[in-house]
Amino acid sequence: MVEIRTPTSAELSGLGSLLEAVSSDGAEALSEHKTVRIGNEAEVCEVVAADDGVVGYAQAAWHRPAAPGDAGHWAIELATTAGSDVGSELVRSVVARLAAGARWVLWARRDVEDEVAARLGLRCTRTLVRLEVGLPLAEAPLEFPDVLVTGFRPGRDEDAWIEANNAAFAGHPENGAVTIDDLTRRMEAEWYDPEGVRMAWSDGVLLGSCWTKVHPDGAGEIYIIGVRPDAAGRGLGRLLVVEGLRHLSVDCGASSAVLWVEKTNAPARRLYGSLGFWEAARIRSYEPVG
């Protein structure tokens, strides 16, 4: 009989087998945001479904308020090989451990998670689209006479990056309100490369950046890209996308790249489409009704 409960330290240490089984379809089992927080009791709430071994895991991670008037929210993800019945119980259990009345959302990247959302009577509130493109691009890198593109300089550029990023993503539930602790955690990741953070400067002011990463299989990704609002409308977004893809192709040897974008972000999707990106997958965010 499957038991839903707080995981032991040994079960958390052995989650790799479950996550590997769930990701055998080619999609990640959990987002990076959740994966790096497994076992971090100060930041997340976790439960497991256990039978002869762990057959399911759910995590709720706190996202700070991203805009005035926002109360913040818990983002829940699950990974299970036991179907939507167990998945639903995992979500119910983790929600029951949150503060009464706390806002929460469930992210789904597989059919089983969509089925869980339906069982719980949730409504879809956001859709993110995964786009892919082959490399190298046919389009040559762009140049602006008053813009200097550099890599990230650790120990010097942290404040500038945080300020520009938070301006670009003001109010965004995941990418807004980034702190130095958030940035440091990302810089400690195995894949982090300061040269992979392509930064556009003008007169000493950071206008925007394109943070890239390379996956273990060699595929590239535009991880975070943003232009501060007061620099928008100049074509800097295209400059940064093309520069990021150039870095992935020429400097890192990647033959393809991916990125995630809001389904409703029509300007960004037009830009990416003009560069040859095509839709490869979608993930959805669900919330309780009412």
Q: Are 160 and 53 within 8 A, CB to CB?
A: no
What mean pLDDT is predicted for residues 222-247? Answer: 96
Q: What does the pLDDT read at residue 96?
A: 97
CATH of range 132-284; options 3.40.190.10, 3.90.550.10, 3.40.630.30, 1.10.10.60: 3.40.630.30
Q: How do residues 132-153 score in pLDDT, each as one tens digit?
A: 999 999 888 888 999 999 999 9
The token duo for 99 is 């503060």
Q: Is 279 exposed, middle or buried (0-12, 13-18, 19+ CB in 10 A)?
A: middle
Across the range 56-65, mean pLDDT stands at 94
Give the phi and the psi of residue 278 in degrees, each rounded to 5. -130, 160
Helical H segments across 131-171, by residue range? 158-168
What does the pLDDT read at residue 71?
83
Using alpha carbons only, how large is the chain's radius of gyration in Å?
20
Q: Does residue 48 have a pLDDT over 80?
A: yes
Which pLDDT value is given to residue 143? Answer: 84
Q: What pLDDT was estimated at residue 140? A: 85
52: burial class by Cβ within 10 Å (0-12, 13-18, 19+)? exposed
**Residues of the chain with pLDDT > 70: what percent?**
100
Cα 119 to Cα 105: distance, rounded to the nearest angstrom: 15
Percent of the chain residues past pLDDT 90, beyond the cut: 87
Higher-scoring residue by pLDDT: 272, 101: 272
Which class in CATH covers the domain with range 3-123? alpha beta
Report residue 208 as tokens.
């925007």
What is the widest separation between alpha-carbon atoms in the chain? 67
Asked whether the domain spanning 132-284 has the same topology as the one spanning 3-123, the reply is yes
104-127, pLDDT tens digit by residue?
999 999 999 999 999 999 999 999
Please determine, for residue 66, whether its predicted confidence score (pLDDT) is greater than 80. no
pLDDT of 211 > 90? The answer is yes
161-203 tens-digit pLDDT: 999 999 999 988 888 889 999 999 999 999 999 999 999 999 9
User: Where do the structural domains in the chain lie, given as residue ranges?
Assistant: 3-123, 132-284
Strands 44-50 and 278-288: unpaired
Which pLDDT score, from 0 to 100, does residue 178 have?
92
